[in-house]
Amino acid sequence: MLARSNVFKRCSLAAVTSTSGGSSNMSHRRRRRAPRLTLRQRGLYRAQRPECIPIETRASIRVSVKILERLKSLLSDAYSESFESFCTRVLYFFNTIDSYFLVAGLSSYLVVWPAPFRPLRLAAALFVAWVTARIADFYPVFPVLAVPALGALIAAVPLEPWTVLSLIAVNTGVFFVVQFLFMGIPDSIVARDPRVAFIKMVNSLVTVAPTTVSFAMSVFFSSYLSLLLYAAAAGTAPSPWLGVAAAWLFLAAAVTRLSLPTNRPSRFHKPDTPERPPFRRVLLLNIDGVRKDVFDALDLPVMRRLAEEGASHPQGLHTVYRALTNPAFASILTGAAPEVHGVMDNNLGRPIRVEGLADVVPSIAYGSMHVKHFCKPQWETRIVSLPRHSIYRSDDVMVSWIKEDLESRPEVRLFVADFSEADFLAHAYGSTSAQYKDALRRIDARIGALIDWMGARGLTDDSAIIVCSDHGIAAIDHSFLIARSERYVPFYLHGKGIRKGFRITRPGRITDICSTIAYLLGVRYPDAARGQVFTEALE
């Protein structure tokens, strides 16, 4: 007890001394009151003097730290790439509208279940909802055209206004629950910011996309399914209006299909690949989710340097429809449109079914888990865990792996890297947010540091570096190519033998990247590649 008392006396004396120096000369003057320390300042003050903390508190802190370290160790031991892959697939299943609207629509219908149960009618309603939504590809033109048919359906059954409102309300509740559980919480963990889940909820109100990032699209299509199911089960007798409504819905879906963006190939310019390859290796550095208008407005010294020392495309390359990471990146690697290579969205069960660059040249693809999902199983990948490293460190880990392989894997000729930070933060905070802009600046610096590192080792002498993006973004998502900011992405080509300061004026698409890489490496074009080669950028 005496030792403990002395400790507190020393602490008290230190505190008095630090705040009342020179008080002996102030006996005949008004004593100045020392400024009060804030809680933060007091915490820092005590942190600098551990002996000021009671022994019991220090023991509790040590126990808490050990518990946290043990939990972290257990989580690290339990982690595996296959487990993260499974979890990512589950998240995509609930976040992609193709599968989400079935889950949300059916569950909402069951909550507001009418009697009796009519399986044949329910099957017919499910068929109409599924086929029309698929024909329309969940494109936002369909909801506008479908409203008259839904109004006729409600009047024909008839359905009470309270029933319709109940279906919409339940679907709205399901949307926010699914978004929070399968997108908000995981993204908050990766961002190390609990606000992300709630920011995403607010931003989803103004986003139009085929995912649960979009309130309007998700709630409409799930409510559409619930409404058709309820109308089929609640109707007491067949009505001619039901047939009219179904015919109208199919017509609306067909008209919507005609309005979808098309994936036209670039003007054909694919010369024979040279016998002597222009470059020993190519680095394809993809900045995921670049909004080009924001990107161009920023001061990015490395991108400016690439444009001055190499070639660039000021207008930007046109991405593919749907403008999602997996379909777009698969198009970059195969030179084919999504309807050709088979990866139509980010959902499970979408393998590449045509030849890609990794089938014709030794390659390694780096990035987060979605890179593994759009690559063929036999392609070599190195996957960085976003939950383990956080979004702010994952790109640095990836760059360190690229450096390792550049030095130790001379047989590899194509290095494909996907920088995830900017895209993730655009989804989390918005594509015009300060967080998104700062992420683009950090990626610019990472790419510059990698190029400098390569230059110091003589690796830039026989390397071509391509900086591009897979898709743009509007608000907090992308896909439908409604906004220009979704459609066009930057393109830079750098290396010895590339014309300095050259501006590519020929219109291009991201499918051109595949053919251009094959030409630079002197290998044959993948079988399905329909892109052009930017030969004018070569000296």
Same domain as 329, residue 249: no
- What was the pLDDT predicted at 152? 85
Query: Does a structural domain hold residue 43?
Result: no
How many residues appear in the chain?
Answer: 539
Give, in order, the Cα–Cα distances in Å from 462 to each of 279, 285, 450, 516, 521. Answer: 5, 16, 15, 16, 10
Query: Does a structural domain hold residue 315?
Result: yes
Same domain as 297, residue 177: no
Same domain as 179, residue 144: yes
Same domain as 223, residue 367: no
Same domain as 247, residue 316: no
CA neighbor of 490 nearest in space, from 261, 335, 322, 295: 295
Query: Does a structural domain hold residue 432?
Result: yes
Apex 386 CA angle, 381 and 392, nearest 5: 115
- What was the pLDDT predicted at 79? 67
Same domain as 509, residue 407: yes
Is 212 in contact with 182 (CB distance < 8 Å)? yes
Query: Does a structural domain hold residue 440?
Result: yes
The 8-class DSSP code of residue 413 comes to: -
Query: Does a structural domain hold residue 292?
Result: yes
Summarize the confidence of residues 309-338 as an average pLDDT.
97
Same domain as 217, residue 97: yes
Query: Does a structural domain hold residue 66?
Result: no
Contacts (Cβ under 8 Å, ≥6 apart) of 506:
267, 532, 534, 536
Same domain as 504, residue 362: yes
Summarize the confidence of residues 120-128 as an average pLDDT.
92
- What was the pLDDT predicted at 40? 43
pLDDT band for 60, please (50, 70, 90 cuts).
Answer: low
Domain residue limits at 510: 281-537
User: What are the tokens at 146?
Assistant: 């479908």
**Residues 207, 476: Cα–Cα separation, whole Å:** 6
Examine the fold and report which residue of 221, 243, 258 is the final residue of a domain before the chain moves on: 258
Write down the H helix ranges in 235-312.
240-258, 292-297, 301-309
Q: What is the CATH number of the domain that holds 520?
A: 3.40.720.10
Give, in order, the Cα–Cα distances in Å from 79 to each of 105, 217, 269, 386, 486. Answer: 33, 34, 47, 12, 35
Res 16 pLDDT > 80: no
Summarize the confidence of residues 443-457 as an average pLDDT.
98
The tens digit of pLDDT for each residue in 274-308 reads 989 999 999 999 999 999 999 999 999 999 999 99
Summarize the confidence of residues 349-373 as an average pLDDT.
93
Summarize the confidence of residues 250-259 as an average pLDDT.
97
- pTM listed for this prediction: 0.84
User: What are the tokens at 410?
Assistant: 């001379």
Query: Does a structural domain hold residue 163?
Result: yes
Query: Percent helix, strand, coil in the chain (nearest 5)?
Result: 60, 10, 35
Same domain as 381, residue 344: yes
Query: Can you spell out the DSSP letters for 10-63?
Result: HHHHHHHHHH-TTGGGGTTSPPPPPPPPPHHHHHHHHHT-GGGS-HHHHHHHHH
Query: Can you spell out the DSSP letters for 158-225?
Result: T--HHHHHHHHHHHHHHHHHHHIIIIIHHHHHHHT-TTHHHHHHHHHTT--SSBTT-HHHHHHHHHHH
Same domain as 112, residue 196: yes
Helix (H, G, I), strand (E, B), or coil: what is residue 275?
coil
Is 368 in contact with 187 (CB distance < 8 Å)? no
Examine the fold and report which residue of 227, 258, 289 is the final residue of a domain before the chain moves on: 258
CA neighbor of 138 nearest in space, from 1, 316, 259: 259
Same domain as 297, residue 235: no
| Ramachandran sector of residue 310 (left: φ over 0; alpha: ψ -120 to 50; beta: rest) | beta
Per the structure, how many domains does the chain have? 2
Residue 446: HSE in the Cβ half-sphere, 13 Å Cα cutoff: 27
pLDDT band for 349, please (50, 70, 90 cuts).
Answer: low
The tens digit of pLDDT for each residue in 157-192 reads 888 899 999 999 999 999 999 999 999 999 999 999
Query: Does a structural domain hold residue 16?
Result: no
- What was the pLDDT predicted at 56? 60
Examine the fold and report which residue of 226, 258, 290 is the final residue of a domain before the chain moves on: 258
Same domain as 129, residue 166: yes
User: 82-86, 262-266, 460-464, 472-476: which has the highest mean pLDDT?
Assistant: 460-464
